[in-house]
């Protein structure tokens, strides 16, 4: 299996709701990422997990809470979001997070979850 999968594909939530985004990969990758992408903009890195531990948090508001239950799964828990948080949320994975030296480290992206906050 060489794909990253994400559920749900679309999510509409109110500002008081709690919801979760899920990401899964079975490529044996030990690094997983969350990105946020607004329309007509590039992806912006939010979080990096390396060997199931959070290694990077790009100053993301606490209303976004990541979780990595095991090496194949990555969740993003959402609570008290704002309308400006509406975006495409992309998950990605790679072999590792850094340290490959001269080897490649392609990040494979999932299809994303289109989030709308009302």
Partner 1 sequence: GENVEQHPSTLSVQEGDSAVIKCTYSDSASNYFPWYKQELGKRPQLIIDIRSNVGEKKDQRIAVTLNKTAKHFSLHITETQPEDSTVYFCAAAVDDYKLSFGAGTTVTVRA
Nearer to partner 1, 72 or 105 (CB): 105
To partner 1, the closest distance from the beta carbon of 116 in angstroms equals 14
Burial code (b: 16+ CB inside 10 Å, e: under 16) for 73-94 equals: ebbbebeebeeebbbbbbbbbb
**Which residues bind to partner 1, rule: CB under 8 A?**
31, 40-45, 48, 56, 90, 94, 96-100, 102, 104-112
To partner 1, the closest distance from the beta carbon of 52 in angstroms equals 16
Q: In the numeric block, which tokens belong to residue 75?
A: 């969740």
Q: Are strands 18-25 and 10-13 parallel, antiparallel or unpaired?
A: unpaired
Nearer to partner 1, 20 or 107 (CB): 107
To partner 1, the closest distance from the beta carbon of 1 in angstroms equals 15
For residues 47 and 66, the answer to whether their CB atoms sit within 8 Å is yes
Measure CA of the first residue to CA of the last residue in the chain; give whole Å: 36
Nearer to partner 1, 27 or 45 (CB): 45
């Amino acid at each position: 299996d060489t794909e990253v999968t994400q559920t749900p594909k679309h999510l509409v939530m109110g500002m008081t709701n709690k919801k979760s985004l899920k990401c899964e990969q079975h490529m044996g990758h030990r690094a997983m990422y969350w990105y946020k992408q607004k329309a007509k903009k590039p992806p912006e890195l939010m979080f990096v997990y390396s060997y199931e531990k959070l290694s990077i948090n790009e100053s993301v508001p606490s209303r976004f809470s990541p979780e990595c239950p095991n090496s194949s799964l990555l969740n993003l828990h959402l609570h008290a979001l704002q309308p400006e948080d509406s975006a495409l949320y992309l998950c990605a994975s790679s072999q590792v997070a850094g340290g490959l030296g001269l080897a490649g480290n392609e990040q494979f992206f999932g299809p994303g979850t289109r989030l709308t906050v009302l």
